[in-house]
Structure 1
Amino acid sequence: MAGELYLGIMSGTSLDGIDLALATIEKGSAKLIDSHFVAMPEKLASDLKELHANHTITLSKLGELDHRLGKLYAESVIALLEKTSFSAKDIVAIGCHGQTIYHQPEGKNPFTMQIGDANIIAARTGIQTVADFRRKDMAFNGQGAPLVPAFHQAVFQQSHSSLVILNIGGIANVSVIQPDGSVTGFDTGPGNGLLDEWCECHTGKPFDENARFAKQGETNTALLTLLLSDNYFSKPFPKSTGREYFNLSWLKKCLQIYGEPIQKEDVQRTLVELTVQTIHQSVKPLGQGKAPTLIVCGGGVHNPLIINGLTNKLPDWTITTTKAYGINEDDMEAMAFAWLAYRRIHHLPANLPSVTGAQKATTLGCVYLPD
C-alpha cells in the first residue's frame, strides 16, 4: 500500500459519540481506508453535558473525565483495528482532537481546553499519539479554530467558482476555497447542539431523528429575530465559538427576554431556522463565479429541514455532500485529524493564518510516545 497509515479520532460538541478514520496519506493526499463509530456511553455523555451546562467542576472530577475519555479513545482505536487487517505497528500515528470542554478565544487571557489523556491512548494502543492541536495556534494569537480548512484545501480541487465545505456538528463551521486559491473559514454558529439539547429536554431523545419533532412546529419569526440579534453573528471573521456559549442556558435567557408563551415544537422548528439562516448569511456573500458549490458533512446532513432550507435559500448554488467526493459525511473531521497528525509527524505547518488569524503558520500538536 502506498503512503503511510494514520488514524484520526474526533468527538465533537454534539456528544453523540466518537468518529474514527483510518487513512493512508501520501504527499499530503489522504484516502480513507476504514472508519468506525463508538456511541458515547450514557453516563460519560451526561457528565460532559452537565459540565457544558454549569461550567463548574471539581479538579478530581475533571481529572477523572480526562482519564475516562482517554480509555474510551484507546478502546475505540483497538476496536477499529480489529475490524481491519492492520495492527498497531502499521499505524504511524494517531491524531486525537480530544473533547472540547471550553473554548474562549477572545479576552485578556484566551484559552481552549480539550480533554482525553493522550498518554493513555499511546500506552494502551502502542501507537504514538498527537493531541493538543489548538493551543499552538492560539499562542500565535489565533482563534485555535477551525483547523479543518487546511485539510479541505489539501483534499478538494480549486475550481473556477467558490467551493464551501460546511460541517454541521454541534457548532457549524465552513471552509471557503476561492477561485484565486485563497482560503477562509470560521464557525457560523449553532449547528445541531441547540437542537439536540432542546429535543432531549422535551422528548427524552438525544437528537431529533429526521426532524420529526421540528416538523410538528412552526417557525416563530419574532423569536428567530431575537436569536439572530446575538452579537456573534455580526462579528467579522476570523471567529470561532462553542457549546460553552451557544447552549441551553443561552436559549433559556433568550426565551425569558422573548417573554411570550411558545410551544416546545415551535422552539425546535425555530432553532432549525436559526441554523439555516446563520449558515446562509455567512455563506452567500462569499460566493464567487457562476457555479458556487456547497459541500455538506457532519451530523446535520441527516436533518432534512436543514438541507431543504439551505437548498431553498441558495438556489444558485450546487448543494451536495462529501459522499459525492468519496468521503462519508460522518468521517470527514476524523480524517482531518489523521491528516493533522501526519503534518505534525513530518514537522509541517498545519494551521492557516487566513482562517484562524494567527500571526504565522506553524506546526500543531504534541506527540505522546507509547514507551
Structure 2
Amino acid sequence: MGELYIGLMSGTSLDGVDGVAAAFDEDGGTRVLAHAGRPFDDALRRELLALNTPGDNELHRAALAGNAIARVYADVVDALRSTLPGDAGPVRAIGAHGQTVRHRPGEFDGQGYTLQLLNAALLAELTGLDVVADLRSRDVAAGGQGAPLVPAFHHARFGRPDRHVAVLNLGGIANLSLLPAEGSVRGFDCGPANVLLDHWAQRHLGQAYDAQGRWSAQGRVLPDLLAALLSEPWLDLPPPKSTGRDLFHPGWLQARLDGLAQLAPVDVQSTLCEFTAACAAQHLLRHAPATQELIVCGGGAFNDDLLMRLRARLPGMDVLSSEQRGLPPLQVEAAAFAWLAWARVQQRAGNLPAVTGAAGARVLGALHHA
C-alpha cells in the first residue's frame, strides 16, 4: 500500500482545516485513503483574521492561537485515523501547513519572512506522531517566495505527457500550476479569490460565503470598478510571485470603492467574481497560452458562477473540477502537504526553484519527532 502520511491544510480563506490520509509509493505516487475537516470556531477565526494586521500584545495572542490551531489539527488527525481501513498501517508523519498570518518574502531587509501559526510540538504531543511543519521558511531563506509549494505535487498527480495542463487552486488566494506536456513546471499566485468574495458575502449577507456563486450570478459587472481592481500593479509583476492578505484585504477593496457612486452590493459581488476569473485567465493566457486543460480545485471550485466566468474567458480550454481527475477539490491541497511531509522524511527537495525563485532545490520543513 505504501507509506502513510497525513496532510493538514488551513488556508487564507480562514474557514477551517482540511485533512487527508494518503499512501505514497517510492516514487511519490499518491492514493488518498481518508478525508476529514473541521471548521474554525468564530472566536478563533476572528483572532486569526485580526493577527493578519498589527495589534496589541501580538506575540502572546499569536502563541495562544498557535496552540488552538494545533488542537483543531489534532481533532482532524483523530477523525482521519478513526476512518482508515484496517490494513492501512501506521502513519509515518503529519505534514502541517499552519495558518499564514504574514507573508512578506524579500521585503524590509532584503530577506523578508513568511509566518504560519502552529504549535507543531504540541501537535506532536497530542497525536503521538512525527510532525513536519514550517514548510515555507527554508525556501524564503534561499531567496524564494516560499510559495506556491503545490506545483510539484500537482505535476506528480495531474501532469500528462500528451497534454498541456494547468491547475488553478481557488482558496483565499488563487494560484496557478503550469504543467506542460514537455518542459519545466511553473507556478505562481495570480490574485485574490475567496478572500474578497467571502468578505463581501459576510458583510452583506451575513453568510460565510456566497454558496455556489448564486448571489454574484444575480448581479451585473461594473466596468469602472472592474478596471480599478485590475489596475493593481502587483498583477502585472512577472513570476516568481506570491501574495496574501497583506495586499488583498478589505481595506484594499474599500480604497477602490471610494469615489465611485453608491453601488448595489450584489453588483460588487458580481464584479469581484469577474475580477477573480479575469486575474486567473489573464495570467494563464500570458504565461501558458497553449494550455488545453484547466483543473480547478479549492473551495472556489464549488462556485458555479466563477467557473462559468472562467469558461467564458478561456473558450479554447477544458475547464473542469479536480474531482473529474480523481481528487476532490477540498482534498488537493491537504494531499500536497502530505506529499511534502513524505518528501521531507525521504530527504527529497520539496520546492521547485523555477516556481519560487529560490537559489536551488531545498528539503523543506522542520521535523518534530513524536
TM-score if structure 2 supplies the norm length? 0.95
**1:96 corresponding residue in structure 2:** 96
1:68 to partner: Cα distance:
0.8
Query: Hey, what's the Cα distance between the residues in 1 that align with 2:250 and 2:121?
Result: 33
Query: Hey, what's the Cα distance between the residues in 2 that align with 1:249 and 1:200?
Result: 15
Q: Which runs of 5+ in 2 are unaligned?
A: none
1:115 to partner: Cα distance:
0.6
Query: Hey, what's the Cα distance between the residues in 2 that align with 1:163 and 1:62?
Result: 39
Query: Hey, what's the Cα distance between the residues in 1 that align with 2:19 and 2:33?
Result: 11
| 1:205 and 2:207 matched | yes
> Which one of the candidate residues 154, 177, 180 is aligned to 1:178?
180
Larger mean Cα displacement after TM superposition, 336-345 or 216-225: 216-225
Contact kept? 2:20, 2:335, Cα under 8 Å: yes
1:181 to partner: Cα distance:
2.8
Contact kept? 2:159, 2:180, Cα under 8 Å: no
Query: Hey, what's the Cα distance between the residues in 2 that align with 1:79 and 1:302?
Result: 24
TM-score if structure 1 supplies the norm length? 0.95
Larger mean Cα displacement after TM superposition, 198-207 or 133-142: 198-207
Query: Hey, what's the Cα distance between the residues in 2 that align with 1:279 and 1:101?
Result: 23
1:108 to partner: Cα distance:
3.2
Larger mean Cα displacement after TM superposition, 325-334 or 176-185: 176-185
Contact kept? 1:74, 1:120, Cα under 8 Å: no
1:24 to partner: Cα distance:
0.2
1:195-219 deviation digits (Å, cap 9, x = unpaired):
0011101111110112222123211
Percent identity, aligned pairs only, is 39
What SS does structure 2 have at the residue aligned with 1:23? strand
1:288 to partner: Cα distance:
5.3
What SS does structure 2 have at the residue aligned with 1:330? helix
**1:277 corresponding residue in structure 2:** 278
Contact kept? 1:185, 1:355, Cα under 8 Å: yes
Query: Hey, what's the Cα distance between the residues in 2 that align with 1:133 and 1:124?
Result: 20
Contact kept? 2:33, 2:84, Cα under 8 Å: no
**2:266 corresponding residue in structure 1:** 265
Query: Hey, what's the Cα distance between the residues in 1 that align with 2:236 and 2:328?
Result: 32
1:106-155 deviation digits (Å, cap 9, x = unpaired):
32331100011111111110000000000000111000000000111211
Larger mean Cα displacement after TM superposition, 338-347 or 210-219: 210-219
1:72-128 deviation digits (Å, cap 9, x = unpaired):
111221122122246997100000000001101232331100011111111110000
What SS does structure 1 have at the residue aligned with 2:51? helix
**2:24 corresponding residue in structure 1:** 25
**2:352 corresponding residue in structure 1:** 352
What SS does structure 2 have at the residue aligned with 1:342? helix
Q: Which runs of 5+ in 1 are unaligned?
A: none
What SS does structure 1 have at the residue aligned with 2:214? helix
Contact kept? 2:213, 2:303, Cα under 8 Å: yes
1:26-83 deviation digits (Å, cap 9, x = unpaired):
021111111011111121112112223x432412111111111111111221122122
> What is the letter of the counterpart of residue 192 of structure 1?
N
| 1:296 and 2:296 matched | yes
Contact kept? 1:165, 1:295, Cα under 8 Å: yes
Query: Hey, what's the Cα distance between the residues in 1 that align with 2:170 and 2:285?
Result: 17
What SS does structure 1 have at the residue aligned with 2:330? coil
**2:165 corresponding residue in structure 1:** 163
> What is the letter of the counterpart of residue 46 of structure 2?
S
Query: Hey, what's the Cα distance between the residues in 1 that align with 2:56 and 2:178?
Result: 37
What SS does structure 1 have at the residue aligned with 2:219? coil
Larger mean Cα displacement after TM superposition, 138-147 or 81-90: 81-90
Query: Hey, what's the Cα distance between the residues in 1 that align with 2:286 and 2:46?
Result: 39
Contact kept? 1:280, 1:310, Cα under 8 Å: yes
**1:226 corresponding residue in structure 2:** 228
What SS does structure 1 have at the residue aligned with 2:283? helix
**1:9 corresponding residue in structure 2:** 8
Query: Hey, what's the Cα distance between the residues in 1 that align with 2:303 and 2:56?
Result: 33
Query: Hey, what's the Cα distance between the residues in 2 that align with 1:89 and 1:312?
Result: 46
> What is the letter of the counterpart of residue 167 of structure 2?
I
1:160 to partner: Cα distance:
3.6
**2:62 corresponding residue in structure 1:** 62
Query: Hey, what's the Cα distance between the residues in 2 that align with 1:210 and 1:324?
Result: 18
After superposition, the CA RMSD in angstroms is 1.6
> What is the letter of the counterpart of residue 329 of structure 1?
P
Query: Hey, what's the Cα distance between the residues in 2 that align with 1:51 and 1:267?
Result: 27
Query: Hey, what's the Cα distance between the residues in 1 that align with 2:141 and 2:105?
Result: 11
Query: Hey, what's the Cα distance between the residues in 2 that align with 1:212 and 1:57?
Result: 39
Query: Hey, what's the Cα distance between the residues in 1 that align with 2:262 and 2:100?
Result: 34
Larger mean Cα displacement after TM superposition, 30-39 or 212-221: 212-221
**2:142 corresponding residue in structure 1:** 140
Query: Hey, what's the Cα distance between the residues in 2 that align with 1:263 and 1:212?
Result: 16
